[in-house]
Amino acid sequence: MTTHIDLGTVLRQTLSANLYSNLVTRPTGAAVRTQIELQLHDTDPSLTIIDFSHVSMIDFSCADEVIAKLLLRLATDREAYFVFRGLTDDHWDSVEAVLERHGLALVVERESGVELVGVLDDLERRAFQAIKRRGRTEVWDLARDLGESEYLTRGAIERMWRRRLIMRVGDTYMPVGELQ
Amino acid sequence: MTTVINIPQSLDENSFEQVLEQVVPLPPDARMLLDARHTRWASPYGLTALLALGQSRDAARPTLAVPDADDTTSYWARSNFFYYAGEFFDLKGVVPRRSQGDSAVLLEVTPIAKSEDVHGAVDRIQEKTSQIIGKELGLDPKAIVGFAMTLSEVCQNILEHAGRGGWVMVQTYNWTRRLGRRVVVIAVCDAGVGFRKSLESAGHMTDRWDDAAALEAAVIRSVSRFRDPGRGQGLAGVRKYIGRWDGKLSVRSGTARIAIVPSWDDDLPLQEGLTQFPGAQIQVTIPERIAR
């Protein structure tokens, strides 16, 4: 089940004066995150598109509340996947800062498809590109593509799945968003 | 008896110390006349710090003799200073009516007491900064977003740590004597609890603990009074922004002042033993970009 959440709309619903298009201040971030959590489906796995297209700017405090806390709370406790849409250079400084601060990574949607940004090691980055090329795939295929042992590859893939950066169905893995 | 406090002819971050040196030794209920009749110019820091001073003297309402020069009072009126000064001072002299805004004032004196105030300030600054930052200061358009973020984070310092409201003002001017370039300046001042007490409330004291240590912890090491590991990123982001655009950050709190000093300035990185003043006073200065 895919849920689409337009952050611009959530922001305007959250603030008493519905004129603003900037995600700023920690209280606003906390209120927006609460609204997002209320809109999420209870069933696992779930996929949620968080759409920044109508948000002009997000500051560090708000990025910490909206992005970091959302990922830290939900992605680990539940099988909840997020794809971030509409992130631009105007949002990136604050988003990058909170990802680095918490050692997080996230899935962003670009014209070329989904990509991972944030804190990842080299094997994880290469593994993700290999999964994108193959689509749905198993660990031993990936290990062969990457020229790494199955043990190391499985470790990287498991870590990425636990961070909800890739999806798992049975013994196969695929990019987040494939099930849309 | 009323004590006369002389306001310097040019009121800025440095000369405001002269005001504090005169005011702070007085008992809280002492009657004061702040004499600004000969003041010709005030920076955003000067105006917002004056309001914080008025806010801190609530035991006896001081009098403020407004500048004699029409162009100065007119500018202070356009900056909204008198509108808020009337809350804390008995104003003496000719106070002009507030007229149309000044194009150099990107954000008039604006109270910050709640989250919505920060939203309002950020939205207004975004409307006005694109032309100033791009054309007048020669900065990359990317600097506009960072500038608004910086404004947001320094304003939030009031919400998170002051325990009472404060003020922000943003202005651009030609800093001829010091720099020979245009600058854009954000000043945020409050008379709240200050950094040391704020961090003490969370037990963040180190062996050597005073205002300077508290400023080093908050501004340089991004320590926050909250245990949440996501806290403390705001000022770190401000530091990153001013580093990218060759700007300057100074933060005064209690008896100390810390500054991130760029190559174009000769300010001291840390000053201790200043006159005690409550709250926090922050100034961010971004200079015009010179083509290399």
Residue B153 CA to residue B237 CA, distance in Å, equals 8
Residue B277 CA to residue A148 CA, distance in Å, equals 62
Which pLDDT value is given to residue A40? 83
Q: pLDDT tens for residues B195-227?
A: 998 888 777 677 788 999 999 999 998 887 777
Q: What is the mean pLDDT of chain A?
A: 90
Alpha helices by DSSP H, A43-149: 60-63, 69-70, 76-77, 89-102, 122-134, 139-146
Q: How confident is the model at residue A34 (pLDDT cuts 50, 70, 90)?
A: very high
Mean pLDDT of A116-129: 96
For residue A179, pLDDT over 60 is answered with no
Q: Sort out which chain A residues have CB atoms less than 8 A from B233's CB and list them.
A: 60-61, 64, 97-98, 101
For residue A67, pLDDT over 60 is answered with yes
Chain A nearest-CA distance from B129, in A, is 14
Q: Sort out which chain B residues have CB atoms less than 8 A from A97's CB and list them.
A: 233, 236-237, 240
User: Residue A32's closest CA among A77, A71, A78, A63?
Assistant: A63
Instruction: Say if the Cβ atoms of A93 and B146 lie within 8 Å.
Output: yes
Instruction: Say if the Cβ atoms of A22 and B119 lie within 8 Å.
Output: yes
Q: How confident is the model at residue B291 (pLDDT cuts 50, 70, 90)?
A: low
Q: Sort out which chain B residues have CB atoms less than 8 A from A52's CB and list them.
A: none
Between A15, A90, A101, which is nearest B116 by CB?
A15
Chain A nearest-CA distance from B91, in A, is 34
Q: How confident is the model at residue B130 (pLDDT cuts 50, 70, 90)?
A: confident
Which tokens belong to B233? 């990123």
For residue A16, pLDDT over 70 is answered with no
Q: Looking up tokens 């990025």, which residue turns up?
A: A63
A28 part of contact set with chain B, CB < 8 Å: yes
Q: Looking up tokens 């300035």, which residue turns up?
A: B265
Let me know the angle formed at the C-alpha of A95 by A130 and B115, rounded to the nearest 5 degrees: 155
Residue B163 CA to residue A86 CA, distance in Å, equals 36
Residues 6 or more apart whose CB falls under 8 angstroms from that of A155 comprise none
Chain A nearest-CA distance from B291, in A, is 24
Q: Sort out which chain B residues have CB atoms less than 8 A from A67's CB and list them.
A: none
Chain A nearest-CA distance from B38, in A, is 40
Instruction: Say if the Cβ atoms of B122 and A68 lie within 8 Å.
Output: no
Q: pLDDT tens for residues B52-100?
A: 999 998 889 999 999 999 999 999 999 999 999 999 999 999 988 876 6
Mean pLDDT of B182-204: 87
Instruction: Say if the Cβ atoms of A28 and B237 lie within 8 Å.
Output: no
Between A57, A61, A93, which is nearest B156 by CB?
A61
Higher pLDDT, B291 or B186: B186
For residue B3, pLDDT over 60 is answered with yes
Residue B138 CA to residue B134 CA, distance in Å, equals 5
Q: Sort out which chain A residues have CB atoms less than 8 A from B157's CB and list them.
A: none
User: Residue A145's closest CA among A127, A157, A161?
Assistant: A127
Assembly ipTM = 0.82
Mean pLDDT of A16-42: 85
Between B126, B152, B233, which is nearest A101 by CB?
B233
Residue A170 CA to residue A129 CA, distance in Å, equals 20
Between A28, A89, A97, which is nearest B115 by CB?
A28
In this complex, how many residue pairs, one in chain A and one in chain B, have their CB atoms less than 8 Å apart? 88
Which pLDDT value is given to residue A85? 95
DSSP B49-85: HHHHHHHH-TTSPPEEEPPS-HHHHHHHHHTTHHHHH
Which pLDDT value is given to residue A180? 52
Three-state SS for A38-72 is: HHCCCCCCEEEEEECCCCCEECHHHHHHHHHHHHH
Higher pLDDT, B144 or A85: A85
pTM for the whole thing? 0.87
Q: B54, B85 in Cβ contact below 8 A?
A: yes
Instruction: Say if the Cβ atoms of B156 and A97 lie within 8 Å.
Output: no
Going by their DSSP bridges, the two strands B2-6 and B41-42 should be labelled as unpaired
Portion of chain A with pLDDT greater than 90, in percent: 70
For residue B6, pLDDT over 90 is answered with yes
User: Residue B39's closest CA among B84, B1, B81?
Assistant: B81
Mean pLDDT of B153-167: 86
Q: What is the mean pLDDT of chain B?
A: 89
Higher pLDDT, B284 or A73: B284
Instruction: Say if the Cβ atoms of A97 and B119 lie within 8 Å.
Output: no
Q: pLDDT tens for residues A86-100?
A: 999 889 989 999 999
Q: pLDDT tens for residues B234-279?
A: 888 899 999 999 999 999 999 999 999 999 999 999 999 999 999 9
